[in-house]
Amino acid sequence: MSGSSLRRRFLVAAVFAFLAAQVVVPAVALFGPRPARFSWHMYSALPPVPEAWTVAADGTREQVDLGRIFAVQRAEIDYAAVVRAGLCTVVDARAVEIRQSADAPVETITCP
């Protein structure tokens, strides 16, 4: 296969891959929760307001100001997963509790 033919095939493949990603990703995301990343869901829904609490050794609960511990609060972030992975490292607590939105259940994560 000549160099130019190979280059042409690579170009066609790259363009179709780009197009497929640009169309398929947002098309699939239309069937999921909003907003989703890489899908152009700007201002398409009201972002959930997550809440978190620390639980001290004596059992007292204190609400965490997420605006203080997150650099940027984005609606696409799975706060439960992020808090599960990292909140214990930035606060001094026995456990942390997180609620993704007002109508979601509270999840308790025990700090190591």
- Tell whether omega for the bond before 112 is within 30 degrees of 0, i.e. cis: no
Over the window 88 to 107, marking each residue x when it contacts other proteins by CB under 8 A and - when it does not, the resulting string is -xx-----------------
Q: Rounded CA gap, 108 and 33, in Å?
A: 24
Number of residues that bind other proteins (CB under 8 A): 41
Q: Rounded CA gap, 46 and 39, in Å?
A: 16
- Binding part of the chain for other proteins, among 55-63, 72-80, 102-110 by CB under 8 A, reads 72-80
* Span 5-44, contacts to other proteins by CB under 8 A: 8, 11-12, 15-16, 18-19, 22-23, 26-27, 29-30, 34-35, 37-44
Give DSSP secondary structure letters for 52-99. Answer: EEEE-TT--EEEE-HHHH-SS--TTS-HHHHHHHHHHHHS--SEEEEE
Query: Among residues 55, 80, 87, 98, which is the contact residue for other proteins, using CB under 8 A?
Result: 87
Q: Which residues pair with 1 in a beta bridge?
A: none
Binding residues for other proteins (CB under 8 A):
8, 11-12, 15-16, 18-19, 22-23, 26-27, 29-30, 34-35, 37-46, 68-74, 76-77, 82-83, 85-87, 89-90
